[in-house]
A and B are shown apart, each in its own frame.
Chain A
Amino acid sequence: MQNRIKLSDVGHFFDTGTDRIDLFENVSLELQAGRSHAIVGPSGAGKSSLLTIMAGLDEPRRGAVTFHVDGRQVDAVGLRARSGFVFQQFHLMPELDALANLALPLRLKGDPDAQDKARNWLARVGLEGRAGHQPSRLSGGEQQRAAIARAFISEPAFLFADEPTGNLDAVTSTAVSDLMFDCARESGCCMVVVTHSEALASRTDTGWMLRDKRLEPIR
């Protein structure tokens, strides 16, 4: 398999100084390209922590995680170079306008066509008229569309979304979900979504429930 992430007996916890809080243990799974996955569960179960471990943003306290990109095993930094992220809080850079925010990952990679590609993506997500606007002047839905475009612009092998519709109303949520799934399907990437939304979770190929420190398949 060209692109995959494998978790073997992964467990995670954090210490508060006086107590240890265990989030999950013995999690083993494999994420593959071209598929979409949802992780659901109650608040505080550790969904976001599991996502950050899958995405190479954090290391597990127990077990192992391996990443393969384009057929080669890579480290976390290598994985992130081929990943896109969509956050609940959008996390656009406040001082950059919409166009510059989209161009950011390409510029980091030294792509000389960053501006043109960013402009194309803005048009694709329906924000061509907002190119020069800074995030503070965009609505929540517009900011999340810009964030999705930024996540896909560098043709990621993996896309990680943490509550991507958590800050949006029902109608906007649907539009943003449609956009995300369309982009993922077209790019053939592997998409992992952490969500409380049943509607969003039901659209993925696979679903897991994280509860009582265990990850169980629900679909």
Chain B
Amino acid sequence: MTSASLILENVRSDLKSGDGRIAFAVQGLIAFFLLSLTLASASIQSYLNDNLDQMLGADVVLESFVPLSTVQMEELARHTESLSRTATMQVVLTHGEQWERAQLKIVDDAYPVQGEVTVSRVLGGATDRATHPQPGAIWLGPRLAGVLRARVGETITFGDTALRVDAILEHEPDRLMEGHSVAMRAMVHERTFDSASAGMQGERFRYLIGASEAQESAIRDWQRSELSAARLLSKRGGDHPLASFWQRVENLFGLLSVTFVILGAVALDMTNRRWLEAMQYRLALYQSFGVTLRCGIAMMLAQWAIGFLCACLVAAVLAAVGQLALLDILDDTFPGIAPVWPVAALAQTVGLLALLAILLQLPFILPLMRASVSSLIRSEGRLTPATLRLVSGAAAVSAVALAYTDNWLLTVMILAAVAAGIVLLVLVTWSALWLGDRLFGRRGGLLPFVVFLMRRRITSKTAQVVGLGASALLLLVTLMLLGQIGERLEEQRRTHDGNLVIAEASEAHVAALNEWARETGSEIRSLRPFVRAQLVRVNDRPLADHAGGPSETLATMQEPIRLHWTDPLPANNRVVAGSWWDAGTASWDRISVEEEVMTDLRLELGDALDFSVDGEMRRFTLVSSHVYQPGASSITFWFQVPETARPHIPGTTLFMGTMELPETAWDALPGLWVQHPELILEPIQEITERFDRIVALVKRVSVGFSAFVLLLTMLVIAASVRGFEADDRLRDGLLQTMGFDRRDVARLSLSEWSLTGALAAFGAIGGAWLAGTLIFESQFGLPFRFSPLWVAGTLAAIALMLFIFMALAGSFSRRGSIQELLQGQ
């Protein structure tokens, strides 16, 4: 038999053993998750790239939140032969008794630059090519037409302007710029408003440009120097507006796989104990046949590598099949999405998996390298020091965190919570066993004897408790975190001080609102001023460069945010770093930033922040960091400046707040919108519906994720039982020679496992509480409510499952005669 066939034979026999199968399943599960993630993400990114080619509506799009000046327009026009300007704004359209909020796109004569607009005459009818609506006409999206019950030829109103419905808008070539927005849509010509003296207004301005590569390069240079707050999107650059969003989704799931790596590390640590013994024995035999230690170890490594690759291969096949199912679900969001097989990305993921596997295996390979022939033959069981195993486990977890994190605060929180949970489990185990041993002293009986035995096996028992406890903790945190986020979101609506959110209102709107509130018996509960401002530079560096990697926060910063001014610290905020300003301070250029925003954008106290406000730049010095605290209004601002700053900041003052409407006032809302169609009001019920969609998604994700954690937990339990089975069989055999019958031994085993389970559960609850406090309160700004009943119920279910599983595993392992137990058969 050649070495190669011997290695293959060993791989086969290892896969037939319980330990081998557990290790295979652990590696396979982690590989399946990460490979599925890679495949799904690659398919989405590929879809977005194709999409970018077809749906940008131009070679280059310049997006800005303030309109370009005449000079800037002239400058831009010098670089291109085809240029179209569009603006979008949120409005309310009414048709008889029906009203609906919609996103209105205002286009010019040059629209579209590339691609086709298609329209139809009736809902669901045949489509025709078109360019843009005529002045005075409006095209409605199919959903909007349906909601307004408006047909082609009828008239709808926007404020006091009557608009004739000319067509149903089926497709816009620059639809991509709206991303996944599901807003109701409508389109009008810009000259529609000339007659109504409304002019070209909007919240978001897009300039569609036809440009060669050279022209694009010149436009990019010009934009960088003249319009740093604007964003340039190119067909050639491949930077789809949603690409970074999906990158972040992939990152979040990758980060969550830290959980799997921790559980996998625990399971592998337990099975590797026996793997090491078997390898030592095998190496001893090989060496007795004249094989060198180096060659023997090379064979072991090859055998391990083949096992790992087999696990990856099986996982890859399953992931490929799983991807088809996943894409079927994603087809709702990405119509026509097709699977892709990205070799480079898959190789990268397999590389990461190999790194993880090597890190977790290394502590068990090193003793083989150091071992002498005689110690191998005696099989003295050189277990790796616990410190090395811990360090290598921590390195594996860090590798995953490094590969996927884009939110260091959340990452550190998760890792800190897990680490704190493990320390807690170790402390609970040691102190309980030490105290128990002291307490029972020399007393006889089952429990004292169990405690005595466990105290003597404290290292292995601690490993079991930590393994089971960490699994229970992660399962608990997963269920609690994902489940309660939904619950908290739902609760949030009840903490709103009102039933209508004023999302954005001008001073004129506020006056109208006050008037309307008086007429209808409504009440404005809160109203807080702000201007739209975009953070452009930090310490004279572009924001994206300063912030480093992508993050949720950075993505939000691509658009103007609300800059609020206030002298008193809002009741729902507290300062966590730096100091708040005094009322009426002369130093108006102070700013306070929310803590998570600071972390994600890598801001520090003393940083200079440049904001673009209404086309002008204003610089503020970061002096304070605040966080949301529950108890008062739910409206909080990321960026806050002193009241004395207001005279120095350009831009229109807008307001955000809440109102309480009596039941009778709701019917009067359309009247208000007819007068002020740009007023953005969101009934809490609509927000709740959005929450419901999020909650449904969160629930679906949590079920899938919990199933994964549960599977790995089962493997940890199996590994735990298998890992100490030989010792337990010897103990059980010996006890029977001393006069214990099988029932006594079974009782003893179950007592020991119950105590192990109780210690693990106790530690897990403590850990979950820590995690809840650390993550819930600081990360999500949600009041963390530790529900002992919920936790106890969940743990009881987990404990029952553990008990049944362990009892089954225990009873199987105790089969056979006393002689067989003693001989370890």
Contact = CB atoms under 8 A, between A and B. Distances in A.
Interface in A68-84: 77-78, 80-83
Nearest to A95: B457
A80 B444 contact: no
B734 A107 contact: no
A87 B449 CA distance: 24
Contact of B456 (A82, A89, A95, A108): A95
Nearest to A92: B734
Contacts of B737: 55, 57, 80, 83, 85
B47 to A, nearest CB: 57
Contact of A110 (B445, B456, B818): B445
B789 interface: no
Given A57-B736, A57-B817, A91-B730, A112 B443 contact: yes
A107 B444 contact: yes
A100 interface: yes
Contact of B735 (A55, A89, A96, A108): A108
B819 A57 contact: yes
A108 B740 CA distance: 9
A29 interface: no
A89 B727 CA distance: 14
Given A58-B819, A93-B731, A96-B456, A110 B443 contact: yes
A91 B824 CA distance: 11
B739 A108 contact: yes
Interface string B814-825: 000111001100
B381 interface: yes
B442 A52 contact: no
A110 B730 contact: no
Given A58-B818, A95-B456, A112 B442 contact: yes
Contact of A58 (B452, B727, B817): B817
Nearest to B449: A107
Contacts of B818: 52, 57-58
B460 interface: yes
B734 A93 contact: yes
B325 interface: no
A104 interface: yes
Contact of B444 (A77, A81, A110): A110
Nearest to B733: A91
Contacts of B819: 48, 52, 57-58
Contact of A93 (B444, B449, B730): B730
Contacts of B740: 77, 80, 108
Contacts of A55: 737
Tier of interface size on chain A: 20 to 34
A180 to B, nearest CB: 16
A8 interface: no
Contacts of B739: 77-78, 80-83, 108-109
A60 interface: no
Contacts of B741: 77
A11 interface: no
A115 interface: yes
B456 A100 contact: yes
A212 interface: no
B822 A80 contact: no
A111 B442 CA distance: 8
A95 B443 contact: no
A114 B449 CA distance: 12
A95 B457 CA distance: 6
B738 interface: yes
Nearest to B459: A95
A45 to B, nearest CB: 16
Contacts of A87: 822
Contacts of A57: 736-737, 817-819
Nearest to A116: B442
B372 to A, nearest CB: 16
A105 interface: yes
A85 B821 CA distance: 15
Contacts of B736: 57, 80
A217 interface: no
A77 B736 CA distance: 8
Contacts of B733: 91
A111 B456 contact: no
Contacts of A52: 817-819
Which one of B442, B448, B727, B741 has the greatest number of beta carbons of chain A within 10 Å? Answer: B442
B449 A136 contact: no
Nearest to B441: A112
A5 to B, nearest CB: 15
A113 interface: yes
B381 A111 contact: no
B380 interface: yes
A81 B822 contact: no
B817 A108 contact: no
Contacts of B452: 100, 107
B89 to A, nearest CB: 74
Nearest to B724: A95
A94 interface: yes
A59 B452 CA distance: 32
B353 to A, nearest CB: 35
Nearest to A108: B738
Nearest to B741: A77
Given A112-B442, A114-B442, A105 B738 contact: yes
A82 B737 CA distance: 10
Interface string A114-142: 11000000000000000000001000000
A136 B381 contact: yes
Contacts of B380: 136
B456 A115 contact: no
A154 B460 CA distance: 29
Interface in A135-157: 136, 154
Interface in B736-778: 736-741
30 contacts: A52-B819, A57-B818, A77-B741, A78-B739, A80-B736, A80-B737, A80-B739, A82-B739, A83-B737, A83-B739, A85-B737, A89-B823, A91-B733, A91-B734, A93-B730, A96-B456, A104-B734, A105-B738, A107-B452, A108-B738, A108-B739, A109-B444, A109-B739, A110-B443, A110-B445, A111-B444, A112-B443, A112-B444, A113-B442, A136-B380
Q: Which 5 residue pairs are nearest across A and B when measured between Cβ atoms?
A: A110-B444, A81-B739, A112-B442, A80-B739, A57-B818
Given A105-B738, A113-B442, 11 more contacts: A58-B818, A83-B739, A95-B456, A95-B460, A100-B452, A110-B443, A110-B445, A112-B442, A112-B444, A115-B442, A136-B380
